[in-house]
A and B are shown apart, each in its own frame.
Chain A
Amino acid sequence: MDRIIREEARLIILRALSEQADERLNSELLRATLETFGIARPRAWVHGELDYLAEMGAVTITEAGTVRVAQLTELGARHLTRNVAIEGVKRPSRPEA
């Protein structure tokens, strides 16, 4: 159960980053974004998911005090276009014909 939510959350995070002009977003706004998808978790939980994504090479992280700034990597962007599948991240749904 927990796994499904985490995989879902990681995809939402990657999507949120890709929607930004600079493909970056800080963990506080990511937390707010997840909340709008019905995933209400503390910032520390978001940091855990960012760590996972960083480990998989989907994002890079800049520490900024109590907040972290994540940036989408090429690999993360390729996951969103379904060119690669990163383990532990939900796959985006297929585009409709």
Chain B
Amino acid sequence: MARRAGRGRLSSIEQLPEEAEPIVAWAMQELRARKHTQVDICEEFNKRLAGLAADMGIEIEPISLSSFNRYAIRLAASARRLEETRAIASALTERLGPDQADDLTVMVAETIKTLVFELLEGDGDITPKGAMELARALQSAVSAQSVSTDRRRKVEADFAKKAEDAVDKVAEARGLTAETVEAIKAKILGVSE
């Protein structure tokens, strides 16, 4: 689903009182579990909302099925991107077991994950902000005195290589043009140099 520019109008679910949040979280988990139909979940969701409204002594309008559906789709799209991120990033960083990695290697891996996620989420305008924050953290950790020149070179080369691979993988998944790919690489690698 293409994301509209700006913040967009608040959905009726986003306008529910704060106390309804556990009910929203419950509904999203139910949807994720894929054991009941969305209609059933929405019905139960409104039942719980009505119960809450009665407890609090306020009025809460039931959420319409279409509004519930829009909200669910939006969150599901984001969940899918995270899932894709996991698949792509694990292919790129599979050599790192849970126990054998120092802080720098960890940061390389995390930067790649964030990069992949943000590239998947972007709509052509490429601003991998979070990845850059991590890349900067990596950079400052690398330039700290305690890291030897050799190690520094190795980490930087490793990061550049993985970042390029990540961009290529995402380009493949999203069908980006060669031009866009080059632009992204220039931007990302500009941070590491």
List residues of chain A with CB under 8 Å of any chain B CB: 1, 4-5, 8, 19-26, 28-29, 32-33, 35-39, 62, 64-67, 69, 71-72
Interface majority SS on B: helix, strand, loop or mixed?
helix
B110 adjacent to A69 (CB under 8 Å): yes
List residues of chain B with CB under 8 Å of any chain A CB: 13, 18-19, 21-22, 24-25, 27-29, 32, 75-76, 78-79, 82, 85-86, 89-90, 93-94, 96-98, 101, 103, 106-107, 109-110, 113-114, 117, 130, 133-134, 136-138, 140-141
Taking CB atoms, residues of chain A closer than 8 Å to B75 are 35-38
A5 adjacent to B79 (CB under 8 Å): no
A4 adjacent to B109 (CB under 8 Å): no
Taking CB atoms, residues of chain B closer than 8 Å to A64 are 107, 110, 134, 137-138, 141
Given contacts A26-B134, A39-B25, A69-B106, 9 further A-B contacts (CB under 8 A): A8-B22, A21-B90, A29-B113, A32-B82, A36-B28, A38-B13, A38-B24, A66-B137, A67-B130
Distance in angstroms from B136 CB to nearest chain A CB is 6
If A29-B114, A64-B110, A69-B107 touch, does A37 touch B134 (CB 8 Å cutoff)? no
